[in-house]
């Protein structure tokens, strides 16, 4: 067995917690406000049951699929995340792992590694953008991604700059200066293996965002870039359609939670959406992504690829999302725990866990491919789903009430909600 191998994502998370300085672990755990959405993303998957068969199962199963025109070996994509400086090789290690397992790499614009290096590690890289900077600046970033060879764009728009968590936000330095390093040292010193992984490379964790560099300038720091983003006027649906028109290739809108928005995304010409609440990091109390998926997949799944992200920790979760209408899922923390626990091998380990668990589910459910998974394969508790932004149908004309003549010998009936 390879060194550092783990059997579940939960175990990878335990190892990550042990290995990383407290503030770094807490930055990956993230979440917002009360953590209702973060919790619900996980809890909702546990509420769904499987309906397995015992005989007549398929000896051969196909897990491969095509997402946004790209063939992948199983229906999981790397969701873009911005803090991979937790490992010296960061996004490059994740991209290599994804390439080795035949899947798509999503690269955050807040990444610690340049898009050119990441595409070299995985040609099936999608570059993620927020709506930040002027249109000219956005065009420059798109052109750079195109020149690097990125296959597609992920536009993430579900961010409302809410901050504060009941369990506290970590302190992250603007730059790893001497002063910052001294303040950070007490946490880092008790995590020798994490420190050693950087010491071997002779570099400190990189807190800049090289993909947001403008020609002739130094890469902005994470917080400098965040400031640019906060000051950018918020996008309209016309802006979304404009951005989509600038990219000649697959284009995903990530962060959709409402039916009306899903339909507007189709009108804006996107190739795919991801039903998502940003892993519970955005507006707390948004329902779990899996609860919002069935309605959205029903409404627009025939026109574009519908993906889901939020709460995927095992292969069975992938099967559940597919059965409820997702074409594929994206993962965030699951691979971050793998990366923190054991670098590239840890990410591959996580992908193998998800693939193995998905295969078991397809087997047990008596299916021979991921495309065959259906809602009947699950037990879905009553009231499980949430349909947000349903476009109201025209109200039916009300028929006049029949006149009621009360028999004075009977007691007066109670009306729900009224006072007797
Ligand atoms: C630490 C962290 C950083 C993230 N950074 C980004 C980002 O830069 N861009 C983005 O589109 N989503 C970002 N996300 C959201 C993920 O892409 C994804 O939506 C989320 O992690 C899915 O939930 P899961 O972690 O439960 O799988 C981030 C998530 C986490 C946990």
Per-residue pLDDT at 419: 29
CATH code where residue 345 lies? 3.20.20.70
If you take atom 27 of ligand 1, which residue's CA is the nearest one?
332
Q: Quick one: average pLDDT of 72-100?
A: 93
* 389 domain residue, yes or no: no
- Of 24-33, 130-139, 192-201, 406-415, the range with the highest mean pLDDT is 130-139
Range of lowest pLDDT (67-76, 160-169, 202-211, 407-416)? 407-416
Determine the Cα–Cα distance for residues 420 and 415; give it in Å rounded to an integer.
7
Q: Are 124 and 94 in contact (CB under 8 A)?
A: no
Residue 273 has pLDDT above 90, yes or no: yes
Residue 403 has pLDDT above 70, yes or no: no
Per-residue pLDDT at 109: 95
Residue 35 has pLDDT above 60, yes or no: yes
Determine the Cα–Cα distance for residues 237 and 244; give it in Å rounded to an integer.
11
Per-residue pLDDT at 193: 75
User: pLDDT class for 187, splitting at 50, 70, 90?
Assistant: low
pLDDT tens, position by position, 130-146:
999 999 999 999 999 99
Per-residue pLDDT at 180: 62
Determine the Cα–Cα distance for residues 133 and 230; give it in Å rounded to an integer.
9
Task: Count Cβ atoms below 10 Å from residue 397 Cβ, excluding itself.
Answer: 5
Count of domains observed in the chain: 1
Per-residue pLDDT at 391: 76
Q: Out of 32, 81, 353, give the residue to mutate to test ligand 1, the one with the largest number of ligand atoms within 8 Å of its CB.
A: 81
Is 311 part of any known ligand binding site?
yes
Rounded to the nearest whole angstrom, what is the distance from the C-alpha of residue 195 to the centroid of ligand 1?
24
For the CA of 154, the closest atom of ligand 1 is: 11
Determine the Cα–Cα distance for residues 25 and 19; give it in Å rounded to an integer.
9
What are the distances in angstroms from CA 270 to CA 107, 137, 352? 18, 21, 30
For the CA of 109, the closest atom of ligand 1 is: 8
Per-residue pLDDT at 221: 86
Per-residue pLDDT at 353: 99
Tokens of 313: 């920790």
Q: Are 13 and 145 in contact (CB under 8 A)?
A: no
For the CA of 28, the closest atom of ligand 1 is: 1
Residue 380 has pLDDT above 90, yes or no: yes
Protein residues whose CB sits closer than 6 Å to any atom of ligand 1: 28, 30, 41, 79-83, 108, 110, 128, 156, 254, 276, 278-279, 281, 309-312, 331-334
Question: If we measure between CA atoms, which residue out of 110, 115, 148, 145 comes closest to residue 130?
Answer: 110
| Helix (H) / strand (E) containing 266 | helix 259-267
Per-residue pLDDT at 179: 58
Give residues with Cβ within 8 angstroms of 332, minimum separation 6: 79, 81, 279, 309, 310
Rounded to the nearest whole angstrom, what is the distance from the C-alpha of residue 27 to the centroid of ligand 1?
11
**70-72/65-67 β-pairing:** antiparallel
Q: Tell which wins on pLDDT, 221 or 351.
A: 351
Determine the Cα–Cα distance for residues 262 and 186; give it in Å rounded to an integer.
47
* 410 domain residue, yes or no: no
Residue 251 has pLDDT above 90, yes or no: yes
* 20 domain residue, yes or no: yes
Percent of the chain with pLDDT over 90: 74
Using a 10 angstrom Cβ sphere, with 0-12 exposed, 13-18 middle and 19 or more buried, the burial of residue 284 is buried
Give residue 108's domain range: 9-379
If you take atom 7 of ligand 1, which residue's CA is the nearest one?
81
Rounded to the nearest whole angstrom, what is the distance from the C-alpha of residue 28 to the centroid of ligand 1?
9
Q: Quick one: average pLDDT of 2-26?
A: 93
Residue 416 has pLDDT above 60, yes or no: no
For the CA of 38, the closest atom of ligand 1 is: 26
If you take atom 19 of ligand 1, which residue's CA is the nearest one?
278
Q: Quick one: average pLDDT of 181-209?
A: 68
Determine the Cα–Cα distance for residues 187 and 27; give it in Å rounded to an integer.
14
Per-residue pLDDT at 411: 46
* 261 domain residue, yes or no: yes
* 391 domain residue, yes or no: no
Per-residue pLDDT at 400: 62
Rounded to the nearest whole angstrom, what is the distance from the C-alpha of residue 252 to the centroid of ligand 1?
15
Q: Quick one: average pLDDT of 22-32?
A: 90
Average pLDDT, the chain: 90
Q: Tell which wins on pLDDT, 183 or 263.
A: 263
Per-residue pLDDT at 204: 59
* 404 domain residue, yes or no: no
Task: Count Cβ atoms below 10 Å from residue 288 Cβ, excluding itself.
Answer: 26
Could you give the 3-state DSSP secondary structure of residue 214?
A: coil
Question: If we measure between CA atoms, which residue out of 116, 87, 124 comes closest to residue 335?
Answer: 87
For the CA of 280, the closest atom of ligand 1 is: 23
* 200 domain residue, yes or no: yes
Angle between helices 333-364 and 9-19 (to 10 degrees): 170
- List residues with catalytic annotation: 278
Per-residue pLDDT at 183: 62
If you take atom 30 of ligand 1, which residue's CA is the nearest one?
81
Angle between helices 333-364 and 22-29 (to 10 degrees): 50
Is 58 part of any known ligand binding site?
no
Per-residue pLDDT at 23: 86
Determine the Cα–Cα distance for residues 280 and 224; give it in Å rounded to an integer.
24
Residue 414 has pLDDT above 90, yes or no: no
If you take atom 6 of ligand 1, which residue's CA is the nearest one?
81
Q: Quick one: average pLDDT of 5-21?
A: 96
Rounded to the nearest whole angstrom, what is the distance from the C-alpha of residue 279 to the centroid of ligand 1?
6
Tokens of 180: 């910052």
Q: Quick one: average pLDDT of 346-363?
A: 98
Rounded to the nearest whole angstrom, what is the distance from the C-alpha of residue 303 to the centroid of ligand 1?
26
Is 156 part of any known ligand binding site?
yes
* 386 domain residue, yes or no: no
Residue 402 has pLDDT above 70, yes or no: no
């Amino acid at each position: 067995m390879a060194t550092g191998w783990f059997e579940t994502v939960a175990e990878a998370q335990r190892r990550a917690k042990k290995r990383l300085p407290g503030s770094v672990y807490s930055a990956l755990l993230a979440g917002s406000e009360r953590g209702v959405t973060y919790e619900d993303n996980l809890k909702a998957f546990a509420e769904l049951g499987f309906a397995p068969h015992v005989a007549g199962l398929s000896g051969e199963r196909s897990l491969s699929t095509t997402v946004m025109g790209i063939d992948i070996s199983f229906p999981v994509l790397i969701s873009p995340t911005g803090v991979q400086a937790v490992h010296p090789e960061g996004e490059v290690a994740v991209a290599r792992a994804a390439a080795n397992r035949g899947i798509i790499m999503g690269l955050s614009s807040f990444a610690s590694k340049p898009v050119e290096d990441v595409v070299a590690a995985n040609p099936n890289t999608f570059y993620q953008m927020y709506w930040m900077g002027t249109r000219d600046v956005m065009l420059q970033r798109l052109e750079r991604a195109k020149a690097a060879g990125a296959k597609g764009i992920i536009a993430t728009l579900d961010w409302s700059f809410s901050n504060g968590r009941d369990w506290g936000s970590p302190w992250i330095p603007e730059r790893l200066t001497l002063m910052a390093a001294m303040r950070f040292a007490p946490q880092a010193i008790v995590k020798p293996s994490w420190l050693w992984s950087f010491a071997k490379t002779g570099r400190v964790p990189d807190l800049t965002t090289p993909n947001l560099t403008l020609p002739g300038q130094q890469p902005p720091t994470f917080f400098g870039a965040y400031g640019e983003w906060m000051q950018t006027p918020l996008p309209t649906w016309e802006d979304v359609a404009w951005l989509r028109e600038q990219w000649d290739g697959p284009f995903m809108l990530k962060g959709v939670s409402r039916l009306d928005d899903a339909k507007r995304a189709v009108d804006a010409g996107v190739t795919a959406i991801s039903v998502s609440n940003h892993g519970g990091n955005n507006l707390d109390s948004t329902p779990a992504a899996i609860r919002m998926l069935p309605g959205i997949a029903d409404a627009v799944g025939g026109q574009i690829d519908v993906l889901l992200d939020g709460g995927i920790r095992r292969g069975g979760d992938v099967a559940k999302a597919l059965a409820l209408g997702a074409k594929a899922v994206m993962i965030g923390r699951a691979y971050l725990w793998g990366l923190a626990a054991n670098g590239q091998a840890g990410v591959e380990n996580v992908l193998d866990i998800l693939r193995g668990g998905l295969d078991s589910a397809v087997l047990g459910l008596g299916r021979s491919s991921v495309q065959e998974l259906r809602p009947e394969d699950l037990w879905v508790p009553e009231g499980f789903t949430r349909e947000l932004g349903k476009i109201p149908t025209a109200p039916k004309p009300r028929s006049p009430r029949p006149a009621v003549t009360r028999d004075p010998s009977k007691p007066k009936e109670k009306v729900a909600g009224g006072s007797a």
